[in-house]
Amino acid sequence: MSDIMRLCDVIRETGYAIHRYHRNGHVEKIYENALVNRLRKQGLEVQQQHPLQVFDEDGALLGNFSADLLVENQLIVELKAVRAVVDEHVAQLLGYLRASRIEHGLLINFGAGKFQIKKYIINDVIEKF
* CATH number where 24 lies: 3.90.320.10
Q: How many domains does the chain have?
A: 1
- The three-state secondary structure class of 72 is coil
Query: Kind of pairing, strands 46-55 and 75-80?
Result: unpaired
For residue 69, give its domain range.
Answer: 2-126
Handedness of CA 12, 92, 94, 52 (dihedral sign): negative
Q: Which pLDDT score is estimated for 55? A: 86
Residue 128 main-chain phi, psi, to 5 deg = -95, 155
Alpha-carbon gap, residue 77 to 75, rounded angstroms: 6
CA distance between the termini of the chain: 24
Give the model confidence (pLDDT) of 35-90 as tens digits.
999 999 999 999 999 998 888 889 899 999 899 999 999 999 999 999 999 999 99
pLDDT over threshold 80, residue 126: no
Q: Identify the CA nearest to 45 among candidates 70, 24, 76, 20.
A: 70
87-114 pLDDT, tens digit per residue, is 999 999 999 999 888 999 999 999 999 9
How many helices (H) does the chain have, and how many strands (E)?
Answer: 3, 5
Confidence of residue 1 (pLDDT cuts 50, 70, 90): low
Mean pLDDT, the chain, as a whole number?
Answer: 93
